[in-house]
């Protein structure tokens, strides 16, 4: 069974092919910009609120989200599922930078998260950094923090994204 993108996204050509990672990709290949990523995600998931890509490169992605009532627990703490979702989005956006294009059908293969301290503030951020990349998998580590406290992460995660098969 093969999965194909059925929705057209402005500015993103659904080729169905997957580029294999190669160290040369980091040199000179167009990387999706945060604006292109945000536009593609919004077009594919209309009405979705939440994580916005703020920076992306060949080996990292930074995502932010305002902490609103849907993300908070009583006492103003950011819920675990909200932190997990932000970490997952950061890994997804990292995958786009690694392969050099937006691949909406890249899927979470596995992910685990460790909560280090209560998360509270007005803005929650996550940075995903590349650990390993192959022809079908991208593995990354994510740090999640609130406001400007990047040196005091509230959670850390590790996850793997799998790319669709080439046809």
71-84 burial, b at 16+ Cβ within 10 Å, e below that, comes to beeeeebbeeebbb
Residue 17 falls within a domain, yes or no? no
Residue 150 falls within a domain, yes or no? yes
* Number of alpha carbons in the 13 Å side-chain half-sphere of residue 88: 15
Residue 149 falls within a domain, yes or no? yes
Residue 118 falls within a domain, yes or no? yes
Of 20-34, 83-97, 99-113, 126-140, the least confident: 20-34
Residue 10 falls within a domain, yes or no? no
Q: Whats the size of the chain, residue-wise?
A: 167
Residue 39 falls within a domain, yes or no? yes
pTM of the model: 0.81
Q: What is the extent of the structural domain holding 45?
A: 23-162
* Number of alpha carbons in the 13 Å side-chain half-sphere of residue 42: 13
Residue 47, domain CATH:
3.10.129.10
- pLDDT of the residue at 15: 37
Q: What is the mean pLDDT of the chain?
A: 84
* Number of domains within the chain: 1
Q: What is the pLDDT of residues 34-92, one digit of tens each?
A: 999 999 999 998 877 778 999 999 999 999 999 887 777 888 899 999 999 999 999 99
Confirm if 91 and 80 have CB atoms less than 8 A apart.
Answer: no
Give the Å distances, CA to CA, from 106 to 98, 133, 142.
12, 13, 17
Query: What's the pLDDT band for 23 if we cut at 50, 70, 90?
Result: very low
Residue 85 falls within a domain, yes or no? yes
- pLDDT of the residue at 167: 66
Residue 3 falls within a domain, yes or no? no
């Amino acid at each position: 069974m093969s999965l194909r993108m059925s929705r057209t996204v402005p500015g993103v050509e659904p080729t169905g092919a997957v580029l294999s990672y190669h160290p040369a990709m980091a040199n000179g290949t167009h990387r999706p910009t945060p604006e292109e990523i945000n536009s593609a995600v919004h077009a594919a998931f209309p009405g979705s609120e939440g994580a916005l890509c703020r920076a992306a490169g060949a080996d990292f992605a930074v995502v932010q989200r305002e902490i609103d009532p849907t993300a908070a627990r009583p006492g103003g703490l950011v819920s675990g599922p909200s932190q997990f979702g932000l970490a997952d989005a950061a890994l997804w956006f990292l995958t786009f930078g690694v392969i050099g294009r937006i691949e909406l059908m890249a899927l979470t293969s596995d992910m685990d998260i460790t909560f280090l301290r209560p998360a509270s503030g007005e803005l929650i951020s996550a940075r995903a950094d590349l650990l390993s990349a192959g022809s079908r998998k991208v593995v990354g580590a994510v740090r999640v923090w609130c406001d400007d406290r990047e040196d005091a992460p509230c959670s850390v995660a590790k996850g793997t994204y799998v790319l669709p098969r080439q046809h």
